[in-house]
Amino acid sequence: MCHYLSLSSFRRLFKDYRIVCESYATAEARLSSERLEAIDMERRAIHDEASALLRERLRSKVAIDHDTARRLFTLIELAVPQNIACRERLT
């Protein structure tokens, strides 16, 4: 069985998620725990938004719970080349 899913509606989320993750990684050694927690909360919010969109887009094909959608978004985000996720910056 195969399900096709256009990723164009996820571009902004991919870009935002990568920016926040990079911010966290670079700030880990120099920022206070409160600021790191704020960055992590932002990352989780983007992750939740993406998982909700993923569930909505897949609703007619497969039923998945919130946690599974979060994991699936993570896998998709890691599999998509950065140049595709960030293409809108170039146009």
Q: What is the token pair recorded at 18?
A: 């990568």
Provide the domain limits for residue 57. 8-89
Q: Say if 49 falls within a structural domain.
A: yes
Mean pLDDT of the chain: 86
pTM check: above 0.85:
no
Whether pLDDT at 80 is above 90:
no
The arithmetic mean of pLDDT across residues 23-47, rounded, is 90
Question: Quick check: is 2 in a domain?
Answer: no
pLDDT of 88 above 60? no
* Domain annotation covers residue 1: no
Q: Does residue 83 form part of some domain?
A: yes
List the Cα angle 68/15/50 in 5-degree steps.
25
The total number of structural domains in the chain stands at 1
Decide if 3 is inside a domain: no
The dihedral over CA atoms of 36, 42, 48, 49, expressed in degrees to the nearest 10, equals -160
